[in-house]
Amino acid sequence: MRLLPVLALGTLLLPLAAQANDPHSYAQPDQVVVTHLDLDLKVDFTHKQLDGVATLKLDWKNPTAPSLVLDTRDLKIASVSALDASGKATALKYALASRDKELGGKLTIAAPKHPARVRIVYATSPDASGLQWLTPAQTADKKAPFMFSQSESIHARSWVPLQDSPAIRFTYDAHVTAPKNIRVVMSAINDAKHPLDGDFSFDQPHPIPSYLLAIAAGDIAVQETGPRSAVYAEPSVVGKAAHEFEDTEKMIATAESLYGPYRWGRYDILVLPPSFPFGGMENPNMTFATPTIIVGDKSLVSVISHELAHSWSGNLITAASWRDIWLNEGITTYVQGRITEALYGKSLADEEALLSARALQKEIGKMPANSQKLAPDPRGVGADDSLSDVAYDKGSWFLRTLEQRYGREHFDAYLKSYFDHFAFQSITTEQMLAFLKPNLVEKYPGRMSWDEVKAWVYGEGIPKDAPLPDSPRFNAIDQERTDFLAGSLVADKLDAKGWNTQEWMYFLDRLPDVAPLGKLQQLDAAWHLTGTPNAEIGMRWYSHAIAAGDKAAWPAAAEHMTRIGRLYLTTPLYTAFVKTPEGLAYAEQVYAKAKAGYHPLTQQVVEGIFAKAKTKTGGD
């Protein structure tokens, strides 16, 4: 595979047709571009499929282009037609290529007359990689089935035939039918008072990339959290979620005060069942969130501030390729920290920044050299593999460095101008740098050299002078951890009664990779970590307990792995288990029970962990 070539630094926005095609998409935007999607969908829980009609509005770039090429994955295509101005349909010839493991099936539609609209009638597969279908037993309330999408990185093609590349933006409207008493929501403006009559309509007037196309359907209740925000969740969850996220309106106002108006109208949150594979997904107007961040004390609501921040960085301005994904995640993580600081104090924001920085320092040296770069050289990895801690944590660290060098006042003004300048566009790293150079680096000379900027973006590792915030509480925890491991402080004398989630995370993160079993047993006896309802703490605790050989923790670890499908909180336990033959056998037993409740992405990652472990040991 290849990635987008480096653009000249002096270049600002190139026309889409002048940019190279995305290596993770069959689309040919230099020939034709989809500008609007009209969807008509039927949610069929019985057959675990969406029956769809997708009508694509087209902007033909090449007057001699012979065809429209779209991305699909496991779609059943029933017919393809051209629509004239009056809506009259004329059948078009098409060819659906055999499925590529990474890219899916290339759909080539012969269209030499360049119709303005093309209509495709299709149905999804029950195994669509971008959809999960849950039985009532797999939901919180166990009363109705549930379905939700996860289109990032390149899974939208598994439920809609389209140009599945972040470089291509389109508006959309949709009509969706579902069984009565089922609520349907999408990444568009949602009506909290919509009757559950099985008939829903949506409109997204802002151009978005395909990975932000989203849908969910189930027994979903709604509770308002402000004049332009609400929480959607299963009835037994919605009250707790609304309490946890009651500061949403303040988050929106805080971000607006820093970076300009929120341009999407409403900001709602859908709390999904625990099988959702990510912490949150920044679908426009409707963030999809994991229930694992609901812990009762708002200590993990930074996930919400992160997804809200995407309304500026990622959704408003989008990385044009998966190679440039740090433009989405690094800038968003920086903005998340600023929202957290404004609402919950500098101490918490600094703790979260330190947690991510220390974790990155520990891991980045183990990565391939090219993977350590914010903007890597062409490397032929899958789109899903482009998302890494480097994009999030090195990216945000770079922005904190810029803030320190140029001062918060100047940097805030620059970032606001960046959001305004590139609003509703997809850009590359090089286009971002072409804006950064005259508007910050050269505007305030002598504060940071261009070579330093390039070292952050194109260099390996982390620059030696990278600034770190100071945290007196973390410093105290470092000393307590040292004393505990040395035996001069017993577990029940740790000053941990007042530790927040982040402080427990920090204490556990910096224990030895294989801590002494006796020490861990003392910790558990004093602080009852086995069985914790806090999934962040649980993931770290069980990983240490498994590594140390504490079989007494295995059943609770299995319960955690079965209950939670979020990749970040589950796969570290599988990774810890597979390091021994007995652990591998146990993990396979757990997975056999948990698999049906996991998202397809989670299944894929866990099975990859097993395969890698067996390759090392020579197992079957």
Query: Would you name the residues annotated as active-site residues?
Result: 307, 392
DSSP letters, 292-341, are: GG--SSSTTTHHHHHHHHTTTBTTTEEESSGGGTHHHHHHHHHHHHHHHH
160 contacts 256 by C-beta, under 8 angstroms: no
Among the listed residues 227, 391, 214, 226, the one whose alpha carbon sits nearest the alpha carbon of residue 288: 214
576 contacts 104 by C-beta, under 8 angstroms: no
Distance (Å, rounded) from C-alpha 296 to C-alpha 8?
50
Element containing residue 244 per DSSP (H, E): helix 235-244
Distance (Å, rounded) from C-alpha 45 to C-alpha 75?
17
- Which two tokens mark 1? 């595979």
94 contacts 16 by C-beta, under 8 angstroms: no
Residue with tokens 């004398």: 493
Element containing residue 557 per DSSP (H, E): helix 554-563
Burial 370-394 (b: 16+ CB within 10 A, else e): ebbbbbbeeeebebbebbbbbbbbb
Element containing residue 122 per DSSP (H, E): strand 117-123
Q: What is the CA radius of gyration of the chain?
A: 24
Cβ-based neighbours of 74, under 8 Å, separated by 6 or more: 99, 104, 105, 124, 125, 127, 128, 129, 158
List the Cα angle 358/364/369 in 5-degree steps. 160
DSSP letters, 497-515, are: TT--HHHHHHHHHTS-TT-
Distance (Å, rounded) from C-alpha 252 to C-alpha 161?
34
59 contacts 35 by C-beta, under 8 angstroms: yes
- Which two tokens mark 191? 């009506």
Measuring CA to CA, how many Å separate 376 from each of 371, 386, 443, 457? Answer: 6, 10, 27, 9
Burial 310-341 (b: 16+ CB within 10 A, else e): bbbbbbbbbbbbbbbbbbbbbbbbbbbbbbbb
Distance (Å, rounded) from C-alpha 239 to C-alpha 230?
11
Distance (Å, rounded) from C-alpha 6 to C-alpha 478?
43
Distance (Å, rounded) from C-alpha 52 to C-alpha 42?
7
Burial 90-115 (b: 16+ CB within 10 A, else e): eebebebeeeeeebbbbbbbebeebb
Distance (Å, rounded) from C-alpha 381 to C-alpha 570?
23
